[in-house]
A and B are shown apart, each in its own frame.
Chain A
Amino acid sequence: MASTTAAAASQPAAPSLALPPSQFARLQPHAYLLAHLSPPASSQQPSIRANGRAPSQFRVTSANTGSLTHTNGSAVVRVGDTTAVCGVKAEILHTEDIASWSVSHSSSSPSNKRRKLTNPTEKPGEDREDGSKDDEDDDNSYIEDFSLLVPNLSLSTGCAPGFIPGAPPSALAQSLSHQILSLLHSSRLVRAEDLEIWYQRPNFGAEELERHNEGEQMDVDAGPEAEEANLEAREIKAFWVLYIDIMIISLAGNPFDAAWTAVLAALRDTKLPRAWWDVDNETVVCSDLVSEARKLSLRGLPVASSFGVFEADAAAGWRAVVIPDAEEERKLAESERKGIQRRWILADPDGYEEGLTQERVSLVVDKTSNGKVKLLKMEKNGGFAVDRKELKDLVDISARRWDDINQILQRC
């Protein structure tokens, strides 16, 4: 682009042919981005995207939590010009309103029974261990079976010219909602034990109860019988259902990363009031003391990062015979190393770049405490450019992105 303007400056005789860069960008978007990414060797300019970023550079991200006062947790996340607002609202679901509860509950709580029947002499320590393992299994079934997490993403806010405010949810909004829900399920981010509301029958004198592990810990010296009685007297009476509503209020490409980061920040901010079953009123009662409310303990911190592939040859997608073999492709890539580049993998594409890329890659990574990278989702679709080697590089880039997002979320 710089060369065009330079040419225009040196030839004042033909000003009618010179276009300002913004107009050129609209008329010839592909050529415009290509000119930025592969500047002529003579111009001594680095290869850079039209928005001034390096190919693997993400947009400036900021997060702000607790912005909405009427929610249990909320966050506003801005990734460049894409802005997502997320609010988490907790509502109570009584187990008597769950049609399958009496059936599924008796079948899904074998942990208590087994503990009582087969292993009465078990040490409380082991018990805890066993219990937590069972929790892991129960977890998914509770959250998935009873739909305890309900995300919904709305694009009908006038976030971009293509989306009419007040229109029914577009296919994009629906598939993003589904992606967020299935990622919440598959990453098992929220623990079911945080969402359970318990009732403990009074056991000679009022016993303090909040968490269902407490009973086991208290009775270390009371022996297995007391523990048994305790377990028997405990019952799940209700669940918290988390309604996670995401509004994209400004859309400039890559809505998934912004939406997921907003969900993550909002869930980290979510506080649930202390709730218990009041047997006299036969209802769940919540404490209004802020000091008694507790935060969710999330499993890990899955961070999403998306990429788009820009191809120099705009016709690559529709010419019948030009697609080379995978093998030829590799040789081509080798020779390309020195010479001219054909395709660029652009991190965090903005709206302009999204219109020019067909192939998308979306990764969700998490890091364990010892710095090991786990993948939670890896999607690649719509092209032939990204293969094994490229994906490996992208995983490394996503791991670096994890560090950034981790810092941003720690700060807010």
Chain B
Amino acid sequence: MGGPIAVLHPLDRADGSASYKCPSTGSNILGSVNAPIELPGRRDALKPEEATIEVFVKPGTAPGGVGERYVEGILRTALGRVILGREKGYPRRGVVITLAIVGGESVGRGGSYLPLLPALLHTATLALLSASVPLSVTLSATVLAVNSAGEITREPSAKEVTTATSLHVLAFTSKGHLLLNESEGTFTFDTWDDVYERALAICHGSSTFGSDGDVAMAETTEGQPLDGIVRDTVEDHIHRDYAWKIDAA
């Protein structure tokens, strides 16, 4: 199973865009960011001291419904904390993030958006980076399923999701804070604790705390940490963009 595939700036007209494909969950998201832009006719809703963040999620096969409003709310709260909406040029303006679900399982009425959420978060982060929106930290997220035997599956497939007893999405900032947690299903706090350890290892490779020296977790079992994938994608893109300069030097 390969790691996720991320492409920066696939769209020409948007200020910033990214596409993100996670092979294990099958989700494929295309996202665009326009910022800072003037939001027309919304003077009353605009906040005088910071940017208004708007998130739109477009499902692949159906018109958007209440489930999309919910996941938009989650994304707006999480990204709102990361975007520095008070930087010069941003107050009273808007940051509009549009995420289209291009592939993967469609979410039915009352269905869970959790398997898609990490891909949506990654796409939004990459698109914001591509649009050069000031961010305080970047973030990386993962989804884990726990089945009735207590086994934790990373980035479960649609089938594994239906048999899981609980689903957990955890997002960590690049500095190791837990920015977002969404868990549903039946579980105990101890189960969640194990899930947390695993998710931290997936997102950041080794455990970042404890100075005893021997707490470093096996990075190899989890593959490349997701935090690194975000970083590498941006590095690769910059390397390509500045190829002329690097070659000239």
**Proximity bits, B90-134, A CB within 8 Å = 1, else 0:** 000000000000000000111110000000000000000000001
**CB < 8 Å neighbour of A384 from B74, B179, B184:** B179
Question: For chain A, which range describes its interface: under 10, 10 to 19, 20 to 34, or 35 or more residues?
Answer: 35 or more
Q: Cβ of A178: which chain B residues have Cβ within 8 Å of it?
A: 66-67, 69-70, 110
Q: Which residue among A147, A179, A184, A380 has the maximum number of chain B CB atoms within 10 Å of its CB?
A: A380
Is A194 interfacial (CB 8 A cutoff)?
A: no
- Please judge, given known A-B contacts A178-B67, A379-B182, A379-B183, whether A320 and B84 are in contact too, CB under 8 Å: yes
Cross-chain contact A378 with B77 (CB below 8 angstroms): no
Cross-chain contact A375 with B177 (CB below 8 angstroms): no
- Residue of chain B at shortest CB distance from A186: B184
Spot the interface stretch: B1-9, B29-37, B189-197, B216-224.
Answer: B189-197
Cross-chain contact A360 with B66 (CB below 8 angstroms): no
Q: In the complex, which residues 293-325 of chain A have their Cβ closer than 8 Å to any Cβ of chain B?
A: 317-318, 320, 323-325
Cross-chain contact A378 with B69 (CB below 8 angstroms): no
Cross-chain contact B193 with A388 (CB below 8 angstroms): yes
| Distance to closest chain A CB from B38 (angstroms) | 21
Q: In the complex, which residues 150-196 of chain A have their Cβ closer than 8 Å to any Cβ of chain B?
A: 171-172, 174-175, 177-179, 181-187
Spot the interface stretch: A94-102, A245-253, A326-334, A402-410.
Answer: A326-334
Is A358 interfacial (CB 8 A cutoff)?
A: yes
Cross-chain contact A320 with B81 (CB below 8 angstroms): no
Cross-chain contact A324 with B175 (CB below 8 angstroms): yes
Cross-chain contact B86 with A318 (CB below 8 angstroms): yes
| Distance to closest chain B CB from A69 (angstroms) | 29
Is A223 interfacial (CB 8 A cutoff)?
A: no
Cross-chain contact B183 with A378 (CB below 8 angstroms): yes
Alpha-carbon separation in the docked complex, A177 to B69 (Å): 10
Is B181 interfacial (CB 8 A cutoff)?
A: yes
- Please judge, given known A-B contacts A186-B112, A330-B209, whether A379 and B181 are in contact too, CB under 8 Å: yes
**CB < 8 Å neighbour of A377 from B69, B179, B183, B193:** B183
Is B85 interfacial (CB 8 A cutoff)?
A: yes
Is A34 interfacial (CB 8 A cutoff)?
A: no
| Distance to closest chain B CB from A107 (angstroms) | 15
| Distance to closest chain B CB from A176 (angstroms) | 8
Is A382 interfacial (CB 8 A cutoff)?
A: yes
Alpha-carbon separation in the docked complex, A380 to B99 (Å): 22
Cross-chain contact B81 with A382 (CB below 8 angstroms): yes
Cross-chain contact A171 with B112 (CB below 8 angstroms): no
Alpha-carbon separation in the docked complex, A119 to B120 (Å): 48
| Distance to closest chain B CB from A341 (angstroms) | 19
**CB < 8 Å neighbour of B209 from A144, A326, A380:** A326
Q: Cβ of A359: which chain B residues have Cβ within 8 Å of it?
A: 81
Q: Cβ of B70: which chain A residues have Cβ within 8 Å of it?
A: 174-175, 178-179
Alpha-carbon separation in the docked complex, A182 to B185 (Å): 10
Q: Cβ of B177: which chain A residues have Cβ within 8 Å of it?
A: 323, 326, 329, 384, 387
Q: Cβ of A384: which chain B residues have Cβ within 8 Å of it?
A: 81, 173, 177-179
Q: Cβ of A179: which chain B residues have Cβ within 8 Å of it?
A: 70
Cross-chain contact A375 with B110 (CB below 8 angstroms): no
- Residue of chain A at shortest CB distance from B78: A381
Cross-chain contact A374 with B74 (CB below 8 angstroms): no
| Distance to closest chain A CB from B136 (angstroms) | 5
Cross-chain contact A375 with B179 (CB below 8 angstroms): no
Is B15 interfacial (CB 8 A cutoff)?
A: no
Alpha-carbon separation in the docked complex, A179 to B111 (Å): 10
| Distance to closest chain A CB from B113 (angstroms) | 9
Is A392 interfacial (CB 8 A cutoff)?
A: yes
- Please judge, given known A-B contacts A317-B81, A382-B81, whether A175 and B69 are in contact too, CB under 8 Å: yes
Is A386 interfacial (CB 8 A cutoff)?
A: yes
Question: For chain B, which range describes its interface: under 10, 10 to 19, 20 to 34, or 35 or more residues?
Answer: 35 or more
**Proximity bits, B65-85, A CB within 8 Å = 1, else 0:** 011011011100110110011
- Please judge, given known A-B contacts A147-B109, A177-B66, whether A376 and B184 are in contact too, CB under 8 Å: yes
| Distance to closest chain B CB from A78 (angstroms) | 25
Q: Cβ of B50: which chain A residues have Cβ within 8 Å of it?
A: 318
Is B23 interfacial (CB 8 A cutoff)?
A: no
Cross-chain contact B184 with A377 (CB below 8 angstroms): yes
Is A373 interfacial (CB 8 A cutoff)?
A: yes
Cross-chain contact B181 with A378 (CB below 8 angstroms): yes
Q: In the complex, which residues 193-217 of chain B have their Cβ closer than 8 Å to any Cβ of chain A?
A: 193, 196, 208-209
Cross-chain contact B74 with A392 (CB below 8 angstroms): no
| Distance to closest chain B CB from A205 (angstroms) | 43
- Please judge, given known A-B contacts A185-B110, A318-B85, whether A392 and B176 are in contact too, CB under 8 Å: no
Is A21 interfacial (CB 8 A cutoff)?
A: no
Q: Cβ of B111: which chain A residues have Cβ within 8 Å of it?
A: 144, 182
Q: Which residue among A178, A181, A359 has the maximum number of chain B CB atoms within 10 Å of its CB?
A: A178
**Proximity bits, A105-118, B CB within 8 Å = 1, else 0:** 00000000000000
Given A182-B110, A392-B189, 8 more A-B residue pairs with CB atoms under 8 Å apart are A171-B73, A178-B67, A179-B70, A323-B136, A375-B189, A378-B181, A378-B192, A391-B181
Interface residues of B (CB under 8 A from A): 50, 66-67, 69-70, 72-74, 77-78, 80-81, 84-87, 108-112, 134, 136-137, 173, 175-189, 192-193, 196, 208-209
> What would 22 A/B residue contacts be, using CB atoms closer than 8 Å?
A144-B110, A171-B73, A174-B66, A181-B109, A182-B184, A184-B110, A186-B184, A187-B186, A320-B84, A320-B87, A323-B177, A326-B209, A327-B176, A327-B208, A327-B209, A380-B180, A380-B181, A380-B182, A381-B180, A387-B178, A388-B178, A391-B181
